[in-house]
Amino acid sequence: MNPNGITYALIIAVENYNQPSDFKKVAYATKDAKDLKDALIAVGVHKDDIKPLIDKDATHSAINAELKGLSKKVTKDDRVIIFFAGHGAYFDETNWIIPVDAYKSNMRDTCIKIDNLLGQLKKAGTKRNLIFIDSCHSGFEPGENVRDIDDSFLPDELIYNYRNEEYCCGFASSKSNQKSISDPSLQNGVWTHFLVKALKGEGGKIYQKGILFSDKLQSYLNKKVAEFVKMNTTTKKDQTPIMFGNLTDKFVIADLNELFDKEENEKMVNDISFTNVTLLHNEEGYIKSLPGFQKGYHKVPTNSYSGADSFVKKIGIDLIKNEIEELSSTIKDQFSYKRKEIEANTEDGSGTIGTPDFTYSMEIRQSEDSPEDYELLRKLEGFSNSEKVLSETFNKIFSNHFSELEFYMSRRIDIEELIDTIEDLDDDCGIKIKYNPSDLSDCRIIIENLNYEILVTESTFSISLGFKTSPERLISAYKETNRAILNNPELKMLSS
């Protein structure tokens, strides 16, 4: 979030005060804090650099201690973000935030001046700090939750008092003569809800080349909060967010380019072209275990040749017929296909089931590596309906048929170039490669945190889980693989 230093965040939220007779419950303050924390992490603030003080932890002494600790820790290149959701007040001609252990009878000693809060940042010498204040809250009124307190917090004073400060840009949820609204349908304060949306990249056209600036954020909050509150309160209330600090300058609120890149990658991950996907499993077994093998009459082949392969196809045909008959009947019934929509055939050691949405096939042959064994290859391909593939019915039918997913590339892969690219990477990059120098028709890529290798040929890449599972699980593994590829620019040649 801050390329020139560390961004620290102090998130303070009080939903339930120690003295509820003095300060009523703050609707959704805890969720406000959690949502803001998640949004900050999404735009690059490290979770270890975020300090939440929520409810019982948001005491007068804890808040002051954290502020002092920040002022000692940060450097001039760092940035501090402070968020407060809770009651606020205005007295002694200044604004205060109200900690969880405050007393209304002694607010001067149990509350914290905004002046002190900002002063700690100024002492630290940091620039471009951000403060977000969603105050105040009170009880429930018919139709809405109003954030208010008798000793009104005066956000307008913030604009005047801090109009020329260069070390801070602040945002508050409403003008002095207005209430700050919480909404049950949002489960948030309205203002915080739209602040979080802006930080999560959901603000529409407010970003300039992926950057969220203070002026654009304020315009967005003004429009969205005012519209929502007007439309969703029983008495058509007004709520106008304010910005304070040096209003002649543009402050960078967040750089969302990395977030937008991740979202674009995730979109690519989920936009699977099922027409290029094949699910398969290659089963091996003894030829003498096939249903058509007659002991004492047939002999197990000791060499691989065309005659032996024909023999395997002949004695294995019943195995294929039985499965095709049973499976085609199940598919027809479960998907309500008409007679003209499904076709099942078996011949010459193979069988197929054709439907409008996919094709299932089986083929038996003699193993080339072990003449006394057979290989039975099952395939599912020709997808034209992604909803069918991911449906519960489909995955129940094929719950234990496939262990491998193969994806056909839209362009040829240069295996030698791929090998050279990966071998030139640093040893700690998390990507390794295996290949046979005497046969460069394929290679295997190992990516850190993936529990399987990626087999790459000139036209395909495939993954094998090593055990039979459902199509949905294989598709999930494919998405995980595609995500890993997109997150490693070195593998961009595989991202087509």
Backbone Cα Rg of the chain: 32
Beta-bridge partner residues of 145: 140, 182
Choice between 428 and 18, residue whose per-residue pLDDT is larger: 18
Tokens (6 digits) for 28: 């959704």
**pLDDT winner (highest mean) among 126-135, 147-156, 440-449:** 440-449
Share of the chain above pLDDT 90, in %: 61
**Cα gap 191→225, rounded to integer Å:** 6
- For residue 368, give Cα distances in angstroms to 22, 306, 309, 353, 373: 84, 11, 9, 26, 9
Sorted by sequence, the CB contacts under 8 Å of residue 62 that are 6+ apart come out as: 53, 99
Interval 82-138: pLDDT, tens: 999 999 888 888 888 999 999 999 999 999 988 888 777 777 778 778 899 998 532
pLDDT of residue 268: 65
Whether the pLDDT of residue 206 is over 60: the answer is yes
pLDDT of residue 14: 95
Averaged pLDDT for residues 411-429: 90
Choice between 93 and 219, residue whose per-residue pLDDT is larger: 219
Whether the model clears a pTM of 0.85, i.e. scores above it, the answer is: no
> For the purposes of burial, counting CB atoms within 10 Å of the CB of 358, is it exposed (0-12), middle (13-18) or buried (19 or more)?
buried
Segment among 148-162, 199-213, 332-346, 481-495 with least mean pLDDT: 148-162
Domain boundaries, the chain: 7-257, 274-494
Class assignment of domain 7-257? alpha beta
Interval 32-82: pLDDT, tens: 999 999 999 999 999 999 999 999 999 999 999 999 999 888 888 898 999
Q: Across all residues in the chain, what is the average pLDDT?
A: 87
